[in-house]
């Protein structure tokens, strides 16, 4: 199969020029000002941007949490992603109670066998137990399977939280295997105390979710992870940075040129803590962790993205339906499943409010959504850029088309959208994965199984 994309404005992390792209098989084979080639399919991209397919390194498809399971499987979740211009996700494979690490990976491979993805999928390995079933030896073997990042939770005490001994030992393993360590950084012990105290005082509404996880708990844990990783000699990636308190230790690490970096997620740039206070039980829609923060943090996050303190924007897509799932916590905020949707909205939101409103350049947008995640997670240069030889993961993006974001039109199984009613200008029009057209004219044209598991290189390798 061959595809010719004609006359688009090709934008990478560094470049911005008009040209034609010729795809043979799965990869880009030719880039020219005006290509005189014969292609089985020709896409007219004039007046459009052509950008590398976006990569979302932080999703939770079919993820068990608090007695329920996130409501997108790898089929529905990746269809939603594809519509949003995302052609690769890296999902968190979670070691569950009683599982060895290979068993955990096995479980996740089964998920994508059962509910086949339409985009490419990689796995991080989230370690929750090294005492009973998990072993350092098994951990060390994961990179050989193309799973080159370890995730640890510093919160959710009594559930998936690890203690600092486990955290540090995993970092030591990572420093030897070349894996990247990822942390959910919150100070689990104090949060656990605060949550119990709040409930004991009858504070049960969604807003107490934020009040019992104040920004300082995220700042503390972020600094702790940065310090321990540096001690262990491991590279570190802090997920879902939400506030100035957590930006600061990462900024210090960047300035010291330590190997520690951070991502934020779309929602932290737009949703603030006041959303949790919405009438009825509406606030539960915004119960994810870290929680929405005081509004001034949004400017701190944009600033950190533009000055290079933060390196990636992901989604932490972890959807729970309002009806039947979020409502589990109707009488107790601590029982609301933590997580929100967003895998489909990222590119449109960041383009509209980041690029169009002058906060970041187009090149920087591509870097944050595609090139940087590709580099951090061992997918570059196969993915994350537009260059000859790279996978033809491409998004033809119409910068002028308008759209209203809504749960009525999105493709996830979830019954609400964090950005409901937001009007944006600029939408993904045609999306290709390794040369296959996934989405065209607003229609899904690929079938489940178009995507496959991607083995990822070790940190810093290609």
**Residue range at the interface with its own copies (CB under 8 A); choices 131-139, 211-219, 286-294, 399-407:** 211-219
- 184 is an interface residue for Zn ion by CB under 5 A: yes
- 138 is an interface residue for its own copies by CB under 8 A: no
Q: CA–CA separation, 71 vs 256, rounded Å?
A: 41
Alpha helix stretches (DSSP H) within 329-459? 346-349, 362-366, 372-376
27 binds, among Zn ion, its own copies, none (CB under 5 to 8 A by kind): its own copies
Residue whose entry in the numeric block shows the structure tokens 């991502």:
263
Q: Which residues are CB-contacts of 286 (< 8 A; sequence separation ≥ 6)?
A: 206, 267, 271, 275, 276, 278, 292, 340, 418
Nearer to its own copies, 3 or 147 (CB): 3
The structure tokens listed for 105 are 């990976």
Kindly state the smallest distance separating residue 348's Cβ from its own copies, in Å. Answer: 23
Kindly state the smallest distance separating residue 448's Cβ from Zn ion, in Å. Answer: 24
Kindly state the smallest distance separating residue 261's Cβ from Zn ion, in Å. Answer: 16
Nearest Cα neighbor of 180 from 247, 259, 88 is 259
Nearer to Zn ion, 52 or 215 (CB): 215
Q: CA–CA separation, 225 vs 170, rounded Å?
A: 12
Task: Bin 85: left if φ > 0, else alpha if -120 < ψ < 50, else beta.
Answer: left
- 216 is an interface residue for its own copies by CB under 8 A: yes
Nearer to Zn ion, 218 or 316 (CB): 316
381 binds, among Zn ion, its own copies, none (CB under 5 to 8 A by kind): its own copies
Q: CA–CA separation, 236 vs 213, rounded Å?
A: 22
CB 355 within 8 A of CB 348: no
User: 3-state DSSP call for residue 149?
Assistant: strand
Q: CA–CA separation, 158 vs 138, rounded Å?
A: 23
The structure tokens listed for 71 are 């409501």
For residue 381, whether the previous peptide bond is cis, meaning omega lies within 30 degrees of 0, is: yes
Q: Total number of residues binding its own copies (CB under 8 A)?
A: 58
Which x/- pattern, by CB under 5 A, does the window 103-132 give for Zn ion? ------------------------------
Nearer to its own copies, 220 or 273 (CB): 220
164 binds, among Zn ion, its own copies, none (CB under 5 to 8 A by kind): its own copies
Return the sign of the alpha-carbon dihedral for residues 382, 388, 393, 399.
positive
38 binds, among its own copies, Zn ion, none (CB under 5 to 8 A by kind): none
- 26 is an interface residue for its own copies by CB under 8 A: no
Nearer to its own copies, 154 or 276 (CB): 154
Residue whose entry in the numeric block shows the structure tokens 């993904």:
428
Main-chain dihedrals φ then ψ at residue 25, nearest 5 degrees: 65, -130
Q: CA–CA separation, 377 vs 374, rounded Å?
A: 5
**Residue range at the interface with Zn ion (CB under 5 A); choices 166-174, 220-228, 314-322, 416-424:** 314-322
Q: CA–CA separation, 455 vs 257, rounded Å?
A: 28
Give the footprint of its own copies on residues 409-428 (CB under 8 A).
Answer: none
How many angstroms separate the most distant Cα atoms in the chain? 73
Nearer to its own copies, 142 or 191 (CB): 191
Kindly state the smallest distance separating residue 376's Cβ from its own copies, in Å. Answer: 14
316 binds, among its own copies, Zn ion, none (CB under 5 to 8 A by kind): Zn ion
Give the footprint of its own copies on residues 53-112 (CB under 8 A).
Answer: none
**Residue from the set 59, 99, 148, 223 that interacts with its own copies by CB under 8 A:** 223
C-alpha dist (Å) from residue 127 to 5, 45, 138, 292, 416: 43, 44, 11, 26, 30
Q: Rounded to an integer, what is the distance from CA 460 to the centroid of its chain?
A: 19
Nearer to its own copies, 159 or 447 (CB): 159
- 316 is an interface residue for Zn ion by CB under 5 A: yes
**Residue from the set 97, 159, 193, 447 that interacts with its own copies by CB under 8 A:** 193
C-alpha dist (Å) from residue 256 to 111, 228, 261, 268, 410: 41, 15, 12, 26, 42
**Residue from the set 13, 82, 155, 365 that interacts with its own copies by CB under 8 A:** 13
- 62 is an interface residue for Zn ion by CB under 5 A: no
The structure tokens listed for 346 are 């990222």
- 356 is an interface residue for its own copies by CB under 8 A: no
- 296 is an interface residue for its own copies by CB under 8 A: no
CB 397 within 8 A of CB 49: yes
**Residue from the set 381, 398, 399, 425 that interacts with its own copies by CB under 8 A:** 381
- 172 is an interface residue for its own copies by CB under 8 A: yes
- 14 is an interface residue for its own copies by CB under 8 A: yes
**Residue range at the interface with Zn ion (CB under 5 A); choices 31-39, 105-113, 312-320, 351-359:** 312-320
Residues near Zn ion (CB under 5 A) are: 184, 316
Residues near its own copies (CB under 8 A) are: 10, 12-19, 22, 27, 29-35, 163-165, 167-169, 172, 187, 189-190, 192-193, 214, 216-217, 219-220, 223-224, 227-228, 230-232, 251, 254-255, 257, 303, 306-308, 367, 371, 381, 385, 387-390
């Amino acid at each position: 199969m061959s595809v010719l994309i004609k006359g688009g404005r090709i934008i990478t992390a560094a470049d911005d020029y008009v040209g034609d792209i010729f795809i043979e098989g799965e990869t880009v084979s030719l880039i020219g000002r005006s290509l005189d080639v014969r292609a089985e399919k020709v896409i007219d991209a004039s007046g459009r941007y052509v950008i590398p397919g976006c990569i979302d390194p932080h999703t939770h498809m079919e993820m068990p949490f608090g007695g329920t399971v996130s409501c997108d499987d790898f089929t529905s979740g990746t269809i939603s992603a594809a519509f949003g211009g995302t052609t690769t996700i890296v999902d968190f494979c979670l070691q569950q109670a009683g599982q060895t690490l290979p068993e955990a990976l096995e479980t996740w491979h089964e998920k994508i066998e059962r509910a086949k993805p339409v985009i490419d999928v990689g796995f991080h390995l989230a370690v929750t137990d090294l005492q009973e079933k998990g072993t350092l030896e098994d951990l060390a073997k994961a990179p050989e399977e193309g799973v080159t990042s370890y995730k640890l939770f510093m919160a959710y005490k009594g559930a998936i939280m690890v203690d600092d001994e486990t955290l540090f030992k995993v970092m030591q393993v990572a420093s030897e295997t070349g894996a990247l360590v990822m942390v959910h950084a919150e100070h689990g012990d104090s949060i656990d105390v605060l949550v119990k105290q709040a409930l004991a005082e009858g504070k049960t509404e969604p807003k107490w979710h934020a009040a019992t996880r104040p920004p300082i708990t995220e700042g503390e844990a972020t600094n702790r992870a940065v310090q321990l990783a540096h001690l262990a000699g491991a590279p570190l990636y802090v997920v879902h940075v939400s506030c100035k308190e957590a930006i600061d230790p990462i900024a210090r690490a960047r300035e010291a040129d330590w190997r520690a970096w951070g991502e934020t997620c779309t929602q932290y740039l737009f949703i603030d803590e006041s959303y949790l206070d919405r009438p009825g039980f509406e606030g539960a829609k915004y119960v994810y962790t870290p929680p929405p923060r005081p509004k001034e943090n949004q400017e701190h996050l944009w600033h950190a993205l533009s000055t290079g303190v933060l390196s990636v924007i992901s989604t932490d897509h972890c959807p729970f339906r309002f009806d039947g799932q979020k409502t589990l916590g109707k009488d107790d905020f601590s029982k609301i499943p933590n997580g929100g949707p967003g895998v489909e909205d990222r590119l449109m939101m960041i383009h509209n409010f980041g690029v169009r409103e002058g906060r970041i350049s187009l090149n920087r947008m591509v870097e944050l959504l595609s090139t940087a995640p590709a580099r951090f997670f061992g997918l570059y240069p196969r993915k994350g850029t537009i260059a000859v030889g790279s996978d033809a993961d491409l998004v033809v993006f119409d910068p002028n088309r308008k759209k209203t974001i809504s749960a009525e039109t999105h493709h996830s199984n979830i019954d609400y959208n964090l950005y409901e009613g937001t009007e944006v200008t600029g939408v993904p029009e045609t999306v290709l994965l390794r040369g296959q057209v996934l989405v065209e004219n607003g229609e899904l044209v690929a079938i489940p199984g178009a995507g496959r598991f991607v083995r990822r290189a070790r940190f810093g390798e290609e």
